[in-house]
Amino acid sequence: MERVRSPWEGTWNIVRFNWPFYAGAAAACALLWLLGAGLHQPLAWWLRLAALGVAGAALASLLVSAYVYDGSGMYRLDWLRGVAPPRPAAVVNVHAGFDESSHLLQHYLRPASLTVLDFYDPAAHTEPAIRRARRARPAFPGTRAVPTSQLPLPAQAADLVLLLLAAHEIRHEAERTAFFREAGRITRPGGRIVVVEHLRDATNFLAYSFGAFDFYSGRSWRRVFGRAGLRVVREQKITPFVSVFILTHADSAG
């Protein structure tokens, strides 16, 4: 497969879309260190220790992101082997405003037809990083803007529906449940829905500290899938920080 992703592209995206966080962390470190320099012990040591803690947390999140998005091979998509149905004819890729995967999927899954849906809603998805990301990358040709409550495709239209690090942007559980019910509707019997997500677990807390609250627990995801009429066929890891849920209809034997 020809190269369609630049080296360290993921790391660079993390930095440029989240630069206020890293700038704020650097400023906090400098301020704590300078304050410590003008105080007596032991308070000076505590402030310097706090500065090192802030720096360590920011660096850990960046290093883990570099590993996940550039070093792990996640975007080579080899993990899709054995996850996707064999030779899918119709693939739907759903994202939340920043699409890093459609151009890769087009190469990897050819000659399957690829439909790209974007559920980004500027009124609901107010995170500044998403707005920066959308300005930086043009939409994949033919991308359709959709609401989470109604995907504009016929029933059983897709062999494979993919959500790669996108579904957690649907912040309300009832809305996530309705969305996955729609994803099930457009998936044919025996087809697959593949959800890739960070989880709110100990591993991601170690990597992202309070940033892990942006994610949902595995238990929360399984509850949503069950309420949407879907069944987890298999759950696996791409890295210790990223989980893959392979779903099908709850009444399907596949």
Give the model's pLDDT for residue 254: 61
CATH topology of domain 76-249: Rossmann fold (3.40.50)
All residues at 6 or more sequence positions from 87 whose CB lies less than 8 Å from its CB, including other chains:
112
User: Domain locations in the chain?
Assistant: 9-71, 76-249
In the chain, which ranges are E strands?
A: 90-95, 113-118, 144-145, 158-164, 187-197, 230-239, 242-249
* pLDDT (tens place) for every residue of the chain, 254 residues total: 444 678 888 999 998 988 898 999 999 999 998 888 878 888 888 999 999 999 999 999 999 999 999 999 899 999 998 898 888 999 999 999 889 999 999 999 999 999 999 999 877 766 777 777 777 778 899 999 999 999 999 999 999 999 999 999 999 999 999 999 999 999 999 999 999 999 999 999 999 998 899 999 999 999 999 999 999 999 999 999 999 999 999 887 66
Q: How many CA atoms lie within 13 A of 222 on its CB side?
A: 8
- As beta bridge partners, residue 243 has 197, 237
- As beta bridge partners, residue 249 has 230
Give the model's pLDDT for residue 132: 79
- Helix runs in 84-149, H state only: 102-108, 128-136
